[in-house]
């Protein structure tokens, strides 16, 4: 099926870029693909053609990412990201879907679930965390950022240090850390270079990313509510995890099974954070088989 690229003006000055594929009149399932840091819908560029023969697909660029544009007074928080996704779904008249959540897409998707639980028909989770067990030591500097008094010298010093860490090499690390040299050499450098230019470059873009780093603490505070949603709904759930993720380690994948004991967990032992860069065919095949088994295809 043909993949098409769109933008739509929403309320309050947001212009959301999104990718669409598949025929909604010929399938009962829409997949909502929610990307992570530091990427955009571009991270799904290879997955979408492998799924669009069976499913309708919507993949937006979240505010502060990709080609989505935001008003000058935009405050980069996960609550605002979630509201824009909700507004997009309303504008496109999408009433039900299965999200594919990755990295930042996980708390965005789960916040949406708290607002619209009936819209969720299943979950596809790929290296998207919702448990303390899934936060690696990489998060320790961010925890210091969260606990320092906002606006204090300590807080500003931490923020400056974090700003210095948002560089092209850090974008690359998100894609290749944890991979063998053979797999790392298979990762196309164009996506993480584009991520840096679109989302991390010094100035307002970088400041918004630092704001999201700070606001991530509020996702952690919502973990108990996310867990309650999982327990209450027991949605058909597929968990896909690159075992060598340096940011969201494997215990975070297993933690889901405490609340979703019937979930299907597929661990890719040689995979890492950006699993689609190295295992997209296997991921697509697993998704199709799972949704077929659950009667959702």
Strands 15-21 and 3-9: antiparallel
Superfamily of domain 3-136+218-293: Alpha/Beta hydrolase fold, catalytic domain (3.40.50.1820)
Asked whether residue 1 carries a pLDDT value surpassing 80, the answer given is no
Residue 133 has pLDDT above 90, yes or no: yes
So what's the pLDDT on residue 227? 98
Catalytic residue among 35, 56, 273, 279: 273
Query: What's the chain's length in residues?
Result: 297
User: Residue 259's pLDDT is what?
Assistant: 98
Q: What is the mean pLDDT of residues 134-152?
A: 97
Clarify whether 273 is annotated catalytic.
yes
pLDDT digits (tens, 9 = 90+) for 154-188: 999 999 999 988 999 999 999 999 999 999 999 99
Q: What is the pLDDT of residue 176?
A: 98
Burial classification of residue 9, based on how many CB atoms lie within 10 Å of its CB (0-12 exposed, 13-18 middle, 19 or more buried): exposed
Give the confidence band of 25 by pLDDT, cuts at 50, 70, 90.
confident
The confidence band for 28, taking pLDDT boundaries of 50, 70 and 90, is confident
Q: Is residue 36 within 8 Å of 8, Cβ to Cβ? A: no
d(CA 52, CA 32): 12
pLDDT, one tens digit per residue, over 31-70 is 999 999 999 999 999 999 999 999 999 999 999 999 999 9
Q: E strands along 61-128, which residues?
A: 98-102, 123-126
Residue 269 banded pLDDT, cuts 50, 70, 90:
very high
pTM over 0.95: yes
CA distance 268 to 278: 10
Pick left, alpha or beta for residue 12 (phi over 0 → left; psi -120 to 50 → alpha; otherwise beta).
left
Residue 101, SS3?
Answer: strand
pLDDT for res 140: 96
Q: What is the pLDDT of residue 87?
A: 98
Q: Each residue of 195-225: b (16+ CB within 10 Å) or e?
A: bbebbbeeeebbebbbbbbbbbbebbebbee
How do residues 63-120 score in pLDDT, each as one tens digit?
Answer: 999 999 999 999 999 999 999 999 999 999 999 999 999 999 999 999 999 999 999 9
Q: For residues 13 and 232, what is the distance between their CA atoms, to the nearest angstrom?
A: 36
pLDDT at residue 142 tops 90: yes
Q: Is 151 left (phi over 0), alpha (psi -120 to 50) or beta?
A: left
Q: Rounded to 5 degrees, what angle do the CA atoms 113, 274, 124 make?
A: 30
pLDDT (0 to 100) of residue 11: 84
pLDDT tens, position by position, 209-246: 999 999 999 999 999 999 999 999 999 999 999 999 99
Q: What is the pLDDT of residue 65?
A: 98
The structure tokens listed for 252 are: 């975070």
What is the pLDDT of the chain when averaged over all its residues?
97
Q: What is the mean pLDDT of residues 188-200?
A: 97
């Amino acid at each position: 099926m043909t993949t098409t690229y769109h933008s739509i003006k929403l309320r309050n000055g947001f212009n959301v870029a999104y990718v669409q594929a598949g025929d909604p009149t010929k399938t009962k399932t829409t997949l909502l693909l929610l990307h992570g840091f530091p990427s955009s819908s571009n991270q799904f560029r290879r997955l979408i053609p492998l799924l669009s023969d069976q499913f309708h697909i919507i993949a937006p660029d979240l505010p502060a990412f990709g080609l989505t544009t935001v008003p000058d007074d935009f405050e980069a928080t996960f609550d605002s990201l979630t509201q824009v996704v909700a507004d997009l779904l309303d504008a496109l008249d999408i009433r039900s879907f299965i999200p594919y959540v990755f990295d930042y897409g996980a708390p965005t998707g789960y916040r949406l679930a708290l607002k619209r639980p009936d819209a969720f028909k299943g979950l596809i989770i790929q290296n998207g965390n919702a448990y303390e067990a899934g936060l690696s030591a990489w998060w320790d500097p961010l925890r210091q950022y969260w606990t320092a008094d906002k606006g204090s010298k300590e807080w500003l010093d931490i923020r400056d240090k974090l700003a210095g860490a948002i560089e092209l090499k850090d974008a690359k690390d998100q894609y290749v850390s944890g991979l063998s040299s053979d797999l790392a050499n298979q990762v196309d450098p164009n996506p993480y270079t584009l991520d840096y230019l679109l989302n991390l470059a010094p100035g307002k873009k970088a400041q918004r990313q630092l704001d999201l780093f700070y606001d991530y603490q509020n996702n952690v505070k919502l973990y108990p509510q996310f867990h309650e949603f999982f327990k209450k709904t027991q949605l058909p759930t597929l968990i896909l995890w690159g075992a060598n993720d340096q940011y969201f380690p494997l215990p975070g994948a297993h933690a889901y099974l405490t609340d979703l004991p019937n979930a299907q967990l597929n661990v890719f032992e040689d995979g890492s954070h950006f699993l689609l860069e190295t295992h997209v065919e296997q991921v697509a095949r697993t998704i199709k088989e799972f949704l077929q088994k659950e009667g959702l295809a």
